Amino acid sequence: SGSASLSRFRGALVAGVLGDCIGGEFEGAEEVPMESVLAHLSGLDDETKGNGVLEYSDDTAMARCVVQSLLTRTGFDEQDMARRFAKEYSASPGRGYGSGVIQVLKKLSCPRLSDVFQPARDQFNGRGSFGNGGAMRAAPFALAFSNATDVKRCARLGAMLTHSCSLGYNGAILQALAVHFSLQGGLEAPQQFINSLITEMEEVEDTDVARKDARILKEAEKPFCERLHRVKELMERSNVSIEEVISELGNGIAALHSVPTAIFCVLHCLKPLECLPQSYRGLERTIAYSLALGGDTDTIACMAGAIAGAHYGIESIPLSWIKCCEGAEDADRDAERLHALYHQMSLNN
């Protein structure tokens, strides 16, 4: 696929939904044997399982709000996006939201609320959430804006509606940047891809607020940069076990323990792996590998899926997977509209 082609947009948005729906099976599991992953995936080929039997969770529910807001407002509008998050939560509260973010979503539905960023600031005794809820819904920002500055600014503000800790919203920026570079063919040169992310995050994390949050949480001075360096080291190794990936990068609900992990999954699966069937293509490998890490599988597979989908394009996704995941066909339709918006906005720039 050519750079920023329609196929890449469709691949990114659809594979994000698939990662969420397919990954939901193992969310929270400490250990996931590869045989269980392969059995789950081969079950998706069963035709009787068509018509969206695997439901999407909060990851997709919120990403859909981001997409609808960006399309309706032809750009970023925090009031509109906040209203959509609140409305979606009250209509479908059972999508497996994080236990903290629920309070924000309830406050966002209050008609008297004047500052839509305030409920997020009040979280966790004023420290804000560092969960991956901002990052899990960040891909659409990369599909709406062609310019990296807009992608970073809007991914940050979009995340800050629920996640005011820099370790939360900077994870969203990293995820959006990974999709942004992948969309432009960046994964053709994996070393350059990771180096570009490090260069960008060096600047993103170069703020007093980020340094203070990192110090309070006893993390490295630039936590995302440090993790990306670990990704780079793991990439250079010929044999990396699942246990090492988990201990070096994490598989948890914090953005810091999941966004770099998702990026690693994509990079590691660019070539065939011995632990996976030879018949699997890149996108299938990425989703399977993300699930085998256990932990926050729906979110890691959702984020890895979006980055990988932007690289491989829609043709790489098995039709049987699309057919059995709720919201996948909607995502395919929305990707076309985002593609038009992206190219329309890049003409205006």
Query: What are the residues binding ligand F2R (CB under 6 A)?
Result: 27-28, 57-59, 96-101, 124, 127, 129-133, 136, 165, 253, 296, 298-299
Q: Shortest CA distance to 328 belongs to which of 15, 82, 91, 28?
A: 15
Q: Which partner from the list Mg ion, ligand F2R, none does 287 bind, CB cut-off 5 to 8 Å by kind?
A: none
What is residue 317's DSSP assignment? S
Q: Which partner from the list Mg ion, ligand F2R, none does 327 bind, CB cut-off 5 to 8 Å by kind?
A: none
Measured at the CA of 295, the angle between CA 211 and CA 168, to 5 degrees, comes to 25
Q: Which residue, 194 or 291, is less far from ligand F2R as judged by CB?
A: 291
**Contact (Cβ atoms closer than 8 angstroms) between residue 256 and residue 227:** yes
HSE-up of 30 (CA within 13 Å, CB side)?
Answer: 0
Cα–Cα distance, 197 to 176 (Å, whole number): 10
Token code pair at residue 215: 């110090």
CB of 328 to ligand F2R, least distance (A): 17
What is residue 173's DSSP assignment? H
Q: Which partner from the list ligand F2R, Mg ion, none does 117 bind, CB cut-off 5 to 8 Å by kind?
A: none
Cα–Cα distance, 279 to 2 (Å, whole number): 25
CB of 25 to Mg ion, least distance (A): 12
If DSSP codes are grouped into helix, strand and coil, which group holds residue 345? helix
Measured at the CA of 94, the angle between CA 260 and CA 292, to 5 degrees, comes to 35
Q: Which partner from the list Mg ion, ligand F2R, none does 165 bind, CB cut-off 5 to 8 Å by kind?
A: ligand F2R
To which residue do tokens 């979280």 refer? 123
Q: Which residue, 136 or 317, is less far from ligand F2R as judged by CB?
A: 136
Q: Which residue, 24 or 186, is less far from Mg ion as judged by CB?
A: 24
What is residue 325's DSSP assignment? B
CB of 183 to ligand F2R, least distance (A): 24
Cα–Cα distance, 102 to 79 (Å, whole number): 18
CB of 259 to Mg ion, least distance (A): 12
Q: Which residue, 69 or 132, is less far from ligand F2R as judged by CB?
A: 132
Cα–Cα distance, 269 to 248 (Å, whole number): 17
Which parts of this chain interact with Mg ion (CB under 5 A)? Answer: 57-59, 96, 296, 298-299
When computed from its CA atoms, the radius of gyration of the chain, rounded to whole angstroms, is 18
Q: Which partner from the list ligand F2R, Mg ion, none does 204 bind, CB cut-off 5 to 8 Å by kind?
A: none
Q: Which residue, 58 or 200, is less far from Mg ion as judged by CB?
A: 58
Polymer length of the chain: 349
Q: Which residue, 1 or 251, is less far from Mg ion as judged by CB?
A: 251
Q: Which partner from the list Mg ion, ligand F2R, none does 99 bind, CB cut-off 5 to 8 Å by kind?
A: ligand F2R
CB of 28 to ligand F2R, least distance (A): 6
CB of 139 to Mg ion, least distance (A): 14
Q: Which residue, 26 or 181, is less far from ligand F2R as judged by CB?
A: 26
CB of 81 to Mg ion, least distance (A): 19
Cα–Cα distance, 228 to 59 (Å, whole number): 23
